[in-house]
Structure 1
Amino acid sequence: MTIQISYKDNILPTATEMAYVFKDSGLKRPVDDLPRIQKMIDHADLIVTAWHNEALVGVARCVTDFSYCCYLSDLAVLSKYQKLGIGKRLVELVQSTIGEQVALILLSAPDAMDYYPHIGFNEIKNGFIIPRKN
């Protein structure tokens, strides 16, 4: 049986939907702080979503200038929908939207370090971070 997934860049998820996907996927985000999740949605420049019927099953959330760089700040897929190519397709749709002149950059969760090279990312070692306090 094939699952029909629809991808959208014109429908924003609710904070509750997005928090659920983050929590279920294992992505560490402030899932109990829905106002903060809502700010993450409101201030993103690009959000591409994956839906199975009316249920949000995946999300790619980006901050970008659409000219030089794009930070893929969140890539999450519900656990039971993982390994179906949904994450890879979300990344492809982000790339299609931002174009070839824009670098796609992300910080990987430790458990996902082996995933990203399989979907076209190159590892870089020249990054720095000032971590958030909470």
Structure 2
Amino acid sequence: MGIQILTYSEKPIKAEDVMRLYQDAGWWPEREEGNIELMLANGQSVGAWDGEVLIGFARAVTDGKFRAYIEDVVIITSYQKDGIGAKLVSMLLDGLTHIDVISLFCEQHLIPFYEKNNFRQSKSQYVMHRIKGS
């Protein structure tokens, strides 16, 4: 059957599976399962499945009309470089066609990957963060 890319509404994603992907990538060790469940329930997300195993994940945060932000595009290491990330982003974008501006930030080496989906670098904007507790 191969890898399937499905929205959260087509095949629900479990928080524990997302945590496993984060652990594989070395991301977000402070995130807790209950908070990931809230995240999944309140956003738009897609999963890449090899049978019943979640091997990739991506999500978007949006106001539903004007802006969306793509976050947490993650593929388990052993499945990287197979085009799965591009398919996840493409499916997310398919669900966001009514949004005026879709943004993301990424590491410099990932710029060519996102340019394939018509994202362009912005020379006039800077990424700024305000992190809880700092």
Q: TM-score range by the shorter chain?
A: 0.7 to 0.9
- What's the offset of the Cα at 1:28? 2.0
Shift of 1:109: 4.3
Provide the C-alpha distance between the structure 2 equivalents of 1:32 and 1:67, rounded to a whole number of angstroms.
28
Root-mean-square deviation (CA), in Å?
Answer: 2.3
Corresponding residue SS for 1:76: strand
Does the 8 A contact of 2:22 with 2:74 survive in 1? yes
The Cα of 1:6 is off from its aligned counterpart by 0.8
Which residues in structure 2 correspond to 1:117-128 (within 5 Å)?
Answer: 117-125=115-123, 126-128=125-127
* Contact preservation (8 Å) 2:86, 2:113: no
Q: Structure 1 residues 119 and 83 mapped into 2: Cα distance closer, same or farther (>3 Å)?
A: farther
Shift of 1:39: 2.3
CA distance in 2, matches of 1:79, 1:86: 11
| Identical pairs, percent | 25
SS in 2 for 1:58: strand
Give me the whole-angstrom Cα distance separating, in 1, the residues matched to 2:107 and 2:26. 7
**1:70 to 1:34, Cα distance in 2 relative to 1, 3 A:** same
Which residue pairs with 1:33 in the alignment?
32
Q: Please give the secondary structure, in 2, of the residue aligned with 1:98.
A: coil
Aligned length in residues: 130
Assess if the C-alpha contact under 8 Å between 2:48 and 2:55 holds in 1.
yes
Unaligned runs of 5+ in 2: none
Unpaired stretches in structure 1, ≥5 consecutive residues: none
When structure 1 is superposed on structure 2, of 48-57 and 117-126 the one drifting more is: 117-126
Q: Superposition pairs for residues 98-113 of structure 1, below 5 Å?
A: 98-99=96-97, 101-109=99-107, 112-113=110-111
Q: Which of the residues 69, 88, 91 maps onto 1:90?
A: 88
The Cα offsets for residues 36-70 of structure 1, whole Å up to 9 and x where unpaired, read as 222222222x1111101000011111111332221
Report the Cα distance in structure 2 between the residues aligned to 1:94 and 1:113, rounded to whole angstroms.
18
Q: What secondary structure is seen at the aligned counterpart in 2 of 1:91? A: helix
